[in-house]
Structure 1
């Protein structure tokens, strides 16, 4: 596999032109990759905010129920107007002193009013594509916000948000951790990458705070390439090397058939970094399905590939 120093003159010139033109700068992939991780962090932060709002609402409801219970007990234990010698002035079968014929008439009138109300509501204009309802969509699978991160989805093959987050994170982690200098090897040693050696049943699948921490760590690692002297970069990322050459050769080992051994492909760091970014978008789309199932809709562009978003822009 050719490196940047061994490229033909015309290709090297084209690479230089791409570097000079920000619109065609392939190194923008570092920004895109870091941004995809940041998008995932922001999603999880939104979910945490929804959890907190749910908890506050439940606490408020509990206080209201407690107040109602205390008020009801006060009325029950206290004196009630209209009672004499422990007997009510009206018969329990004859409320408010009305005759049974009056009660039957009231019940029939209420029934007729309900039918009229039902007919009127059926004549109301129904929501259309141009007039969407204001209420949030009804959850297909009822789920408390505090359970959303780990609750299996009915629509998405029993997957969970946590498992999708762990999976997309694993691809970035494996790509960077297998870079030879990060394995105490020489930069000239063969870079072997196998995405199938990912982790499962790890804390970030169930612990949303741990997931946010790990995603931000990788985000800062990728941003470090463009701002190596940025003091905001956490210290734990300073020992992680990131190749600046997007054409750095990589040998990819992949299981393409479960009945056969893995096969090898020759690729580059830049190509695999782009794959990790696009792979993350795919899992964002699955997470979007799960969130919608649980009644928490996400923005329209979340989970859309860049080419799809571009095709929807004006004059495209």
Structure 2
């Protein structure tokens, strides 16, 4: 822990509110700049993984449309479809598990390969719930409590959006003004849930904001929408923990909430993976796995 006599070049310590310490005696040293940038990277990557998934779905929809046009032109009808054009373009983004394995392979003589996602399309499984690719984004899932891919995407996007929008400067307030976020104030029945193109655009917008902070000198970043630079900046979280009681408040930090949004997104990726599998569009092995799960699997092999 840095001492109070650190030089001017040392990042200052931030003392959490007294209610979060034992008699106010504890202080927390600021993270290194490399660690800080990596949190922005992880958050941006989670949004990028979602964009890659939706782009894969869009490509599958285009392939389906082309196949239908081919059948119409040839007059073969549904029975004339060979299935080749209906083969999905699977989600091929660099998953966290793949990156971890490649990183380990650089240090070990025999890199772990058990969790490397397939590189080429595989035979599609028989769908549990038949569904046209053009309907996949909005069709309710039988296995996932009538949820849809679109609703899960909107939900995980809302958490990032609310964290960024409540940053005081985005409300015309001073950066040191009290920062309060309430993830329960989410949007519902909005274009994010039904419009694939709009969803891709909004996810890419937030991803770009985070990537603008992933620079060698964060002080030179000029994002289109300001977000916190100090990961230890205090944030008050308002949450409804019981519908029969008023909301409660917890003291947290921007860095902790940014990490929560990233891990929360992974949870919904897992649900989206179930829905895609139900509709006969399998995703890669690493999609929807938490970092701790990936780490545990790598260590056990």
Normalised by the shorter chain, which TM-score bucket?
Answer: 0.7 to 0.9
Find 1:284's aligned residue among 248, 260, 269: 269
**1:212 maps to what in 2?**
200
CA contact (8 A) 1:181 1:187 kept: yes
Find 2:239's aligned residue among 235, 254, 278: 254
Q: How much has 1:227 moved relative to structure 2?
A: 3.6
**1:270 maps to what in 2?**
255
**1:19 maps to what in 2?**
32
Give structure 2 stretches of 5+ with no counterpart. Answer: 1-10, 16-24, 78-121
Q: Given the superposition, is the C-alpha separation of residues 202 and 9 from structure 1 closer, same or farther in structure 2, using an over 3 Å criterion?
A: closer
CA contact (8 A) 1:175 1:193 kept: yes
CA contact (8 A) 1:27 1:246 kept: no
Which has more helix, going by share of residues? 1
Residues 78-99 of structure 1: CA deviation (Å, up to 9, x unaligned) = xxxxxxxxxxxxxxxxxxxxxx
**Aligned partners of 1:270 and 1:6: how far apart in 2?**
13
CA RMSD of aligned residues (A): 2.5
Q: How much has 1:243 moved relative to structure 2?
A: 1.4
How many residue pairs were aligned? 236
Q: How much has 1:159 moved relative to structure 2?
A: 0.4
**1:184 maps to what in 2?**
172
Report the 3-state secondary structure (helix = DSSP H, G, I; strand = E; otherwise coil) of the residue aligned with 2:232.
Answer: coil
CA contact (8 A) 1:165 1:205 kept: yes
Taking structure 2 as the reference length, the TM-score comes to 0.73
Larger radius of gyration: 1
Q: Given the superposition, is the C-alpha separation of residues 280 and 4 from structure 1 closer, same or farther in structure 2, using an over 3 Å criterion?
A: farther
Question: Would you say 1:151 and 2:124 are equivalent positions?
Answer: no
**Aligned partners of 2:14 and 2:169: how far apart in 1?**
22
Listed as ranges, the matches of 1:78-89 within 5 Å are none
CA contact (8 A) 2:37 2:213 kept: no
Q: How much has 1:63 moved relative to structure 2?
A: 1.6
Question: Would you say 1:242 and 2:252 are equivalent positions?
Answer: no
User: Which deviates further from its counterpart, 3-12 or 306-315?
Assistant: 3-12
CA contact (8 A) 2:163 2:181 kept: yes
